[in-house]
A and B are shown apart, each in its own frame.
Chain A
């Protein structure tokens, strides 16, 4: 899991500003998942992307949140006009497929802790 990189590790924003969170998956991985962890809660799925495609965004709030995973460069989770309730840890996970078993193991990055003042 050390191979999944996220930056920044900590981000402070004032209400109404934009937050951009970056995730670089493990080398060779083209599947990225974003999860949000609110204080004292478990991780909640937000969005699943493959290169240049959003595959499942069923966990994303309908407004202000967007995600992309361009052909070149990291995946970006963007939160516009942040509010205090957006304060959380945002984790990115990279998918590694276990050969021959048809099962998937996700490896997590260190997370970005967003604080909205």
Chain B
């Protein structure tokens, strides 16, 4: 069975800290890995990673995929309270009509 595991499950940091969120996967027919941020509403798309070793950046957020290790990390530098959310990792498989298989998420809380 395809599996996506995220760690840690939850994390509390102080504003200004840097955090690293982990996602590992055991799937057949890997195609891409996606990161989403979920606050109280819709999951918001952050990154899609298809190629290994190429970092994607958006402001204070960055992510990279390691296909050899079957994993990805999401880094957030200089965290702010607005970064508090659940961060979801999902894997897209080939030949599956583009449906996503999600991990359970990492709940990040940034305190003052």
Contacts and interface: CB of A to CB of B under 8 A. Distances in A.
A107 B32 contact: no
A100 interface: no
A106 B88 CA distance: 13
Given A1-B45, A110-B41, A110-B42, A105 B102 contact: no
24 contacts: A4-B42, A31-B98, A35-B100, A35-B102, A42-B102, A42-B103, A42-B104, A42-B105, A43-B43, A45-B100, A45-B101, A56-B99, A98-B48, A103-B31, A103-B48, A103-B92, A104-B32, A104-B92, A105-B48, A106-B45, A106-B100, A108-B42, A108-B45, A110-B42
Contact of B98 (A35, A41, A48): A48
Given A56-B97, A103-B31, A104-B92, A109 B102 contact: no
A95 interface: yes
Given A43-B102, A103-B31, A103-B48, A108 B92 contact: no
B98 A1 contact: no
Nearest to A107: B45
B1 to A, nearest CB: 12
A contacts with B: majority SS: strand
A1 B39 CA distance: 13
Interface residues of A, number: 29
10 tightest A-B CB contacts, nearest first: A42-B102, A42-B104, A108-B42, A45-B99, A110-B41, A104-B98, A43-B102, A56-B97, A108-B43, A110-B42
Nearest to A9: B41
A69 interface: no
B28 interface: no
A91 B43 contact: yes
B50 interface: yes
A55 interface: yes
Given A41-B104, A42-B105, A91 B98 contact: no
A1 B42 contact: yes
A84 B100 CA distance: 26
Contacts of A31: 98
